[in-house]
Structure 1
């Protein structure tokens, strides 16, 4: 009961945060801006949606193949279809409850394949760690190639966060944040060792052990070249699909690949903040477009257009694969029983 309530409160908080961002995006739109938004959408290159859908589906399929590569050192070889379906269903669940989709896709795959869900959680941690590195690379490339547009804003934000009252860099703030993080990690490790005899703590420790075994899989990946290839392909498709979406609007087409880099970076942050990026994604894209001197109305249109396209693919793709997942495995089990 308590766990369900906590999940419900978590969902309510993030969903409410998304609604807040959505409200901030549309609250000041006047009639003239609505007309500008409608004009931008009506005169967009609508055919661009076809390659965008193809590129995003390819990125999701590549993510499934990369996940399979991480499972090999654990002795697991699930079918490509089940792995891809689990990835798409995981995205669907994440659109409603952040991070729950990762657990669901591991559980679903464990249900129909000879795998352990707790060990799969470790591979998800590896994936997320790699994605964080890739996102950092995106931001570095954006600063390198688009610094003339976003450099001053980034510098001011960094100075405000890590600066002291005099405006200079504060080592104290850095030390406090680092110390707090180390203290939390040390406390968790001590509790798991000291109270391992308690049933609940023992189960939690078993989960962490399984996660550790999953994390170790990166050291024993047999096809490191393919793992790198799929990582580059995933993020390459993210970048190209975002750039294609920017090209769809006449008013932003000139931003090109550089604009795609910065939009991918801030859009990814929006996807992390709220369920499926609702509200946060278009809000952050709109604010980014202001740095490129793109009018508010056009920035709003672009943000909602990009978010809608990605969300529809996740919702429709997730529901389709959810239906196919049960059907495929039901037939597979029937054939196995008949043989």
Structure 2
């Protein structure tokens, strides 16, 4: 079984998961609530797609500027236009095949800016490492700003997990869970040592090493302040864009930035779980809004609209970038006549 076939199977699996979540979410809506779901979609303010478009386009531009900073220590300074085109084409490619965009945007810069593709891999790892940390901060902010809701929800889940059949708290279950966790960690450690020759272990070590090296490379940047500001700006715009999206449906228009933070945190999980976040993005947003007394059908309608807006933006800007990239670079190569 070759790698391409395995990649196709993985993609089909996660695409199937996304389609299943769409089906499952729709079946979570009671029959008597279908009218409300359709009404939320029919009465939504679709004009808000325009400010969301601007906000997300700015976040992608900041991402391109941040990527350029990561290339500077290697002695490369690509034109920001080419970097932006590469970022958007990468997002477009990810809609078709997850992670293809990471390879493609490196290939584009290697072709048009003469930056060796293999040297760009480290910058991609660094970006992903920073994004993971940023998402962790967003989750922390969500917990702080909505502790009364998310904290209670988490406590309830924790209580249900560790209560016995009579409904009372069971310390024994916690002890068993901790023992199992320690055994898993011990098994992983032994596995890494005893089976270090296996391809899976070698790959896992490379991934962990790559993440560490990516984070370490940030400390060597000359323009650390700009890198941090761009990172804050990217996620700040994500939060702002999500809040504008909440204004689109009447049932969620009264929600504030704290709700947008929580929606972004959980919605981002959906973007990771399925290709392009299909099904999962709207489902997770609906579930977190449900904790704020928003009916599931209303939250799912809003999450669907927000997902569709992001999808359309990537398709339009990505396709334009694909068309304009060769045109821009052709003009660049034309000699100036004196």
What TM-score do the two structures reach when normalised by structure 2? 0.86
1:89 matched to 2:89? The reply is: yes
After superposition, where does 1:300-319 map in structure 2 within 5 Å?
A: 300-319=300-319
After superposition, where does 1:87-166 map in structure 2 within 5 Å?
A: 87-157=87-157, 166=172
The answer to whether the 8 A contact 1:119-1:211 is kept is no
Using a 3 Å threshold, how does the CA distance of structure 1 residues 293 and 87 change in structure 2: closer, same or farther? Answer: same
Greater CA drift, 105-114 or 162-171: 162-171
Alignment deviations for residues 20-71 of structure 1 (CA, whole Å, 9 cap, x no partner): 1111112354664332123223333333222111110000000000000011
Partner in structure 2 of residue 237 of structure 1: 237
Question: SS of 1:141's equivalent?
Answer: helix
Partner in structure 2 of residue 198 of structure 1: none
Using a 3 Å threshold, how does the CA distance of structure 1 residues 210 and 176 change in structure 2: closer, same or farther? Answer: closer
After superposition, where does 1:264-279 map in structure 2 within 5 Å?
A: 264-279=264-279
Partner in structure 2 of residue 284 of structure 1: 284
Partner in structure 1 of residue 74 of structure 2: 74
1:254 matched to 2:254? The reply is: yes
Using a 3 Å threshold, how does the CA distance of structure 1 residues 214 and 31 change in structure 2: closer, same or farther? Answer: closer
Greater CA drift, 272-281 or 174-183: 174-183
Alignment deviations for residues 211-241 of structure 1 (CA, whole Å, 9 cap, x no partner): 9876653222111010011000000000000
Tell me, in whole angstroms, the C-alpha distance in 2 between the residues paired with 1:62 and 1:227. Answer: 10
Using a 3 Å threshold, how does the CA distance of structure 1 residues 264 and 86 change in structure 2: closer, same or farther? Answer: same
Partner in structure 1 of residue 41 of structure 2: 41
Question: SS of 1:167's equivalent?
Answer: helix
Tell me, in whole angstroms, the C-alpha distance in 1 between the residues paired with 2:172 and 2:8. Answer: 43
User: How far 1:326 moved relative to its partner?
Assistant: 2.3
The answer to whether the 8 A contact 1:60-1:87 is kept is yes
Greater CA drift, 215-224 or 26-35: 26-35
Aligned length: 329
Tell me, in whole angstroms, the C-alpha distance in 2 between the residues paired with 1:162 and 1:72. Answer: 51
Partner in structure 1 of residue 20 of structure 2: 20
The answer to whether the 8 A contact 1:25-1:283 is kept is yes
Cα RMSD (Å) of the superposition?
Answer: 3.2
Alignment deviations for residues 187-227 of structure 1 (CA, whole Å, 9 cap, x no partner): 797569xx9xxxxx9xxx99999998766532221110100
The answer to whether the 8 A contact 1:119-1:213 is kept is no
Tell me, in whole angstroms, the C-alpha distance in 1 between the residues paired with 2:162 and 2:84. Answer: 42
Question: SS of 1:94's equivalent?
Answer: helix
After superposition, where does 1:148-227 map in structure 2 within 5 Å?
A: 148-157=148-157, 166-168=172-174, 170-182=177-189, 216-227=216-227
Using a 3 Å threshold, how does the CA distance of structure 1 residues 150 and 189 change in structure 2: closer, same or farther? Answer: same
Q: Which runs of 5+ in 2 are unaligned?
A: 164-169
The answer to whether the 8 A contact 2:285-2:300 is kept is yes
What TM-score do the two structures reach when normalised by structure 1? 0.86
User: How far 1:81 moved relative to its partner?
Assistant: 0.8
User: How far 1:181 moved relative to its partner?
Assistant: 4.8
User: How far 1:117 moved relative to its partner?
Assistant: 1.3
The answer to whether the 8 A contact 1:162-1:174 is kept is no
Tell me, in whole angstroms, the C-alpha distance in 2 between the residues paired with 1:219 and 1:87. Answer: 23
User: How far 1:91 moved relative to its partner?
Assistant: 0.8
Using a 3 Å threshold, how does the CA distance of structure 1 residues 184 and 226 change in structure 2: closer, same or farther? Answer: farther
The answer to whether the 8 A contact 2:90-2:102 is kept is yes
Tell me, in whole angstroms, the C-alpha distance in 2 between the residues paired with 1:154 and 1:13. Answer: 29
